[in-house]
C-alpha cells in the first residue's frame, strides 16, 4: 500500500470476476434499468391524461367563475369623498 492511500484511510482491493459472473451482473443491471423504464413509462401513461383533464376542468371552472362574477355597470369613475386640509409651506417647517 502506498503512502497516499494510508493517509486518506481508503483501502482498495482488486477482485477478479469470472466472465459468467460479469455477464450475470450486467444482465441484472440491464433488467433493473428496463424495469424502471417500464415503470416510469406506465406512470406517464397514467399521469399525463390525468393532468391534462384536470387542467381542462380547472380552465372551465375558472372561466365560468369569471363570467358569473358581479356585473356592475360603471357610469363614471368611483370617487371616494373625504375632507382635506391645505398645509402651508411655513406650517410644515415647524
Local structure of 23: helix, strand or coil:
helix
Asked if 11 and 1 touch (Cβ cutoff 8 Å), the reply is: yes
pLDDT higher than 80, residue 14: yes
Indicate the pTM of the whole model.
0.47
**32-48 tens-digit pLDDT:** 999 999 999 999 999 99
Which cell is 73 given? 355597470
**What's the whole-number average pLDDT of the chain?**
82
pLDDT of residue 83: 82
Q: Which of 71, 55, 74, 53 is nearest to 63 (CA)?
A: 55
**Percent of the chain at pLDDT exceeding 70:** 73
Mean pLDDT confidence for 48-60: 94
Contacts 24+ apart (CB under 8 A), 42-45: none
pLDDT of residue 62: 87
Amino acid at each position: 500500500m502506498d503512502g497516499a492511500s494510508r493517509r486518506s484511510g481508503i483501502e482498495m482491493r482488486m477482485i477478479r470476476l469470472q466472465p459468467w459472473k460479469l455477464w450475470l451482473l450486467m444482465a441484472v443491471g440491464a433488467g433493473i434499468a428496463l424495469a424502471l423504464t417500464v415503470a416510469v413509462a406506465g406512470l406517464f401513461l397514467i399521469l399525463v391524461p390525468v393532468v391534462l383533464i384536470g387542467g381542462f376542468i380547472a380552465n372551465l371552472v375558472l372561466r365560468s367563475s369569471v363570467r358569473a362574477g358581479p356585473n356592475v355597470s360603471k357610469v363614471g369613475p368611483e370617487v371616494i369623498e373625504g375632507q382635506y386640509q391645505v398645509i402651508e409651506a411655513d406650517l410644515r417647517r415647524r
